[in-house]
Amino acid sequence: MNKREPRKSNRDLPWNLATVFVLAMIPLTASFFLMIFLNPQSSLNPFPPPTLPALAQAPTATSTLLALPPTWTPTPSPTPDYSPTPPPSPTPTEPIIVIIGTPIESLETPEPTETNAPGGFTFMRQSDPQAISINLYDASRGCGWMGVAGRVVDEQNRPVTGIRVWLRGTLDGKRVDMTSLTGTAAQYGPSGYEFTIANQPIASRGLLSVRLLDQANLPLSERVVFDTFADCDKNLILIDFKKVR
């Protein structure tokens, strides 16, 4: 006796229909996207690309020969002016006056000694001090200056420079103590020296003296005492020295 097969449930029918529908839509969908890919401007494309603007057409260049006028004359270019600009005028400044032979205010140590050199001095004064006018050497100073100056020479009367000259004493109640070097006052000669001791002629008697020193401040000459005068024609005292040994 044959057994009866059980009947399939009708509940699977919707799923079967859905499967058939999906399988049928796959090739249609693929065809749809392929058409849009091949032709993006197709009306089937819901998002077509923007339309490109038309290309601008540049005008075609045409060469045209320029003709010179029948009587053309070249015009020279103007010559540039290369005149130099004058430099600015310097601003005047206060002049600095340097007086050659200005004495040193203080003596270096050790202090010069008054002890006479054994066996005699190397230099001696050539003559007694002479009182003359400074105008013979520098007329610009006139009567507003007083000082002592001179020169030092060797046995052949050749100038000796670099010798220290010591001026000391008192004048007008004030102590005077200064040194200078020969060769610093060229107006009196290559070995000239000079001291400025006042800004006007002042009379004094036996209060001032000069002498020569070596680099150790030892005396090279005797101490020459001199007088000064309240006279514009005697405001320069000249004292020269000469080497004797």
Q: What is the tens place of the pLDDT at every residue in 170-212?
A: 999 999 999 999 999 999 999 999 999 999 999 999 999 999 9
Rounded to the nearest 5 percent, the helix, strand and coil shares of the chain are 15, 25, 60
Q: How far apart are CA 235 and CA 143, in angstroms?
A: 7
- Kindly report the CATH number assigned to the domain that includes residue 232: 2.60.40.10
Residue 45 lies in a domain: no
Q: What is the tens place of the pLDDT at every residue in 27-38?
A: 888 887 888 788
Q: Which structural domain, as residue segments, surrounds residue 186?
A: 123-243
Cβ–Cβ contacts within 10 Å for residue 109, how many?
6
Q: Number of structural domains, the chain? A: 1
Average pLDDT, the chain: 81
Contact 185, 100 (CB under 8 A): yes
* pTM summary value: 0.54
Residues in a beta bridge with 149: 194, 238
